[in-house]
Structure 1
Amino acid sequence: MDTDAAVLSHGRAGAVGGPVTLVLHGGGPGCHAASDFGAVMAARPQRSWLWVDLPGYGASPAAGGPRLGTAAAALRELLNELGVGPVDVLAQSYGGSVALLLASDAPAAVRRMVLIGSTPTPAPGGVPDLLDPGLGARLRAAYAGDGRPDLDRMRRLMTDAEWHDGARLPDALVAARFRADRLAEGASGTPEDLAEHLDAVAAPVHLVWGRHDPFAGPAYAAALADALPRADLTVLHATAHHPQSERPDAVAALVDAHLGSSS
């Protein structure tokens, strides 16, 4: 598969040198790593950050083929080209599923992971009905189903699904997401069910979950932790699907605790 990893938009932040922490964004409209995780990266400038926009997000062009498989392959090529690794990973939702597939297919590439609100399978450990599989499609339809998305609709999407306290949602973050969505080519494909890959994830995983995540609640997170070979779980109260934006200090502290301090 020719994934042309060089076209993946990426950048560096924080310290030069030292272990690299790879940052991967979620799958909502306009999601991109530099904005979604900007507050966390700024809170830990002593860490060496590598943020990447997956195919169809940010400035990365869309790609054909299985959505997760294509993204994981492109990401693996990019890491090889940059000569970094093994990397630690901080990822959210869709990006966490990509990271799990990368860790399954290339164990030497990933050292440790902190994953936020990731749902790589509809029934972790064979436990059904813990996930709202149609929520993403309903949110996208409300936001852009008529081809007329705007800033107000972006704010409504983020308030309804990503932030527990929408009154605290910064205008600048809404604008960044809307601008990125207008610039992106659009992600394509349906994510695969990664259930059969989870047993092969050797890297330690720490799951971080918003207590009020509408996509899947803490019961899903607990089942996923049980389905992974080496996983723990932290549930953050008063938080929804994007704690990296809503509670960046708490997420940064969990990064230090589970990926190790880079100071």
Structure 2
Amino acid sequence: MNTYLLLHGGAGSQSMRAFADLLTRRTGTRVLVPTHPGFAGTERPDHLDSVAALARHYDTMLDEQDLHDVIVIGNSIGGWVAAEMALLGNPRLAKVVLVNAVGLDVPEQPVTDVSNLTGAQLAALSFHAPEKRPVGPGPDVGALRAYTGMRMTDPTLRERLAGVKVPVHVVWGASDGIVSPAYGRAWADAIAGAGFTLLPEAGHLPQLEAPERLLALV
């Protein structure tokens, strides 16, 4: 039986919890929704200073908890972490699902800088139907900066992705104003055998706007 590891983006682990509950009800299996160290006021050890380091942190957790057949679902920066985990080659990993992931350097499709956006501006870029979503707090910029320096891309990542051996499915909300569908296709093109699915009427967080359709893909 699979174990699911859900890795959140800048919006925090709360952006994954409703989807985790749905996944638990439908699959009856174990679903883990950690908060990245440093987010939501949690402590971040000094050695966790990059996305690659965070990926190693979760890779070690798979071993420590003796988890098997793990499906990692990562949204936004969590997708970047999931991709770095795939590169580590842990045999405990069964599949990786990248949901509107950042991290890839695509000069013609730059990642939107969200550091100075208001809540309303961020919602307008994040959701297909922002009027249906309450304006919440902005991303945890301090934690994002600690891991990414707010660059949100790694120029070395595209070439390294050729080494991914685990199955990967790239899922993208068609209305994402932070990272475009063309950016998502670049992710799929960079990983041999990766699938790509575009979700209409969903933005940067399909787990919130299209949970049932996302569930059908994982």
Question: Closer, same or farther in 2 for the Cα pair 1:241/1:68, shift >3 Å?
Answer: same
Q: Whole-Å Cα distance in 1 between the matches of residues 41 and 2 of structure 2?
A: 25
Decide whether the 8 Å contact of 1:107 with 1:202 is kept in 2: no
Aligned residue type for 2:126: E
Q: Aligned match of 1:223 in 152, 177, 186? A: 186
Q: Displaced runs of 4+ in structure 1, greater than 6 A?
A: none
Partner of 2:5 in structure 1? 22
1:98 aligns with 2:81: yes
1:42 aligns with 2:21: yes
Q: Whole-Å Cα distance in 2 between the matches of residues 108 and 58 of structure 1?
A: 31
Which position in structure 2 is the counterpart of 1:6? none
- What's the CA shift string for 1:69-115, capped at 9, x where partnerless? 22112112222221213411111011111111111013413211211
Larger relative contact order (Cα-Cα within 8 Å, sequence gap ≥ 6): 1
Whether 2:76 is the aligned partner of 1:82: answer no
Residue 212 of structure 1: aligned partner: 175
Q: C-alpha separation between the residues in 2 aligned to 1:47 and 1:219? A: 34
Q: CA deviation at 1:222?
A: 1.7
1:72 equivalent to 2:55? Answer yes
Q: Which runs of 5+ in 1 are unaligned?
A: 1-17, 144-152, 256-263
Number of equivalences: 208
How high is the TM-score relative to the length of structure 2? 0.84
**Is the CA contact (8 Å cut-off) linking 1:101 and 1:197 kept in structure 2?**
no
Q: 1:165 aligns with which of 126, 129, 132?
A: 129
Which of 1 and 2 has greater Rg?
1
Q: Tell me how large the CA RMSD over aligned residues is.
A: 2.3
- Which of 25, 37, 56 is residue 38 of structure 2 equivalent to? 56
Identity of aligned residues (%): 27
Alpha-carbon separation, structure 2, partners of 1:117 and 1:204? 17
Unaligned ranges ≥5, structure 2: none
The change in CA–CA distance for 1:170 and 1:39 in structure 2 (over 3 A counts) is farther
